[in-house]
A = this chain, B = another copy of it.
Amino acid sequence: MKRAVVLLSGGLDSTVTLAMAQAAGFEISALSFDYGQRHRAELLAASRIASQAGIRDHVVVRIDLRAFGTSALTDEIAVPLDRTVEQMNAAIPLTYVPARNTIFLSYALALAEVRKANDIFIGVNALDYSGYPDCRPEYIAAFEAMARLATSRSVGEGEQVHLRTPLILRAKTEIIGLGTELGVDFSATVSCYQASDQGEACGRCDACLLRRDGFIQCGLPDPTRYVESVRRPQ
């Protein structure tokens, strides 16, 4: 059975990506990061999801991005709320963490080498949320080209590393549709940038708004657990 490394944040996109990798027949090594993100519930969700999916190799790497500051995901900067999609796409968001995907993929590359996996799955999406430079197809292609020169496999025979981004050009509605077909339990996933410790979503940050809109457009009930202040007006 071929092995793949899957980056698993505990959010909707990475969980669907994991289901797709499993459906494609890969044995999975899941990789999550504890980087001081303030939505700790995401990490708990990743562990639950990996367990539900029957994954026995789930590596959580502690990394200290706080030294690099400047992001609303790790700092005390307020998460922007109630923005339109146009506002979201107008500039690189405050929630951008410098070089985050580059750091995450570098660890994935190391784990892939140790586990002898040729495939790395990452649930980046360039369509619904184009604010992050390190989600674009040209970035992914450049990382793959670099990765093929970076490891001990690149100087021996052996197969090359493939970076798999099955969601990169899919709309949120498609991603939810794919996940539904594959039996993903969306209620276990946490997308909110400021979820409570119990995994309740704020309903107002960019991630919440895009996610909720996806369920509405799919005509599917939204299984997200929201904080009380959001639940009531709905």
List residues of A whose CB falls within 8 A of some B CB. 59, 61-65, 67-70, 92, 96-103, 105-107, 109-111, 113-114, 133-134, 136, 138-139, 142-143, 145-152, 154-156
One complex includes copies of this chain to the number of: 2
CB distance from A101 to the nearest CB of B (A): 7
Q: Which residues of B have CB within 8 Å of A97? A: 110
From B103, B138, B149, give the contact of A142 (CB < 8 A). Answer: B149
A-B contact pairs, 25 of them (CB 8 A): A59-B67, A61-B67, A63-B64, A68-B110, A68-B111, A69-B114, A92-B155, A97-B110, A98-B109, A98-B110, A98-B151, A99-B106, A99-B113, A100-B110, A103-B110, A133-B149, A133-B154, A136-B149, A138-B149, A139-B146, A139-B150, A142-B149, A142-B150, A145-B145, A146-B146
Whether A109 touches B113, Cβ cut-off 8 Å, given contacts A67-B59, A146-B142, A151-B133, is no
Structural contact, B65 and A63, CB atoms closer than 8 A: no
Structural contact, A149 and B154, CB atoms closer than 8 A: no
Complex CA distance for A230 and B73, rounded to whole angstroms: 51
Q: Which residues of B have CB within 8 Å of A149? A: 133-134, 136, 138-139, 142
From B61, B99, B106, give the contact of A64 (CB < 8 A). Answer: B61
Whether A65 touches B98, Cβ cut-off 8 Å, given contacts A133-B149, A138-B149, A145-B145, is no
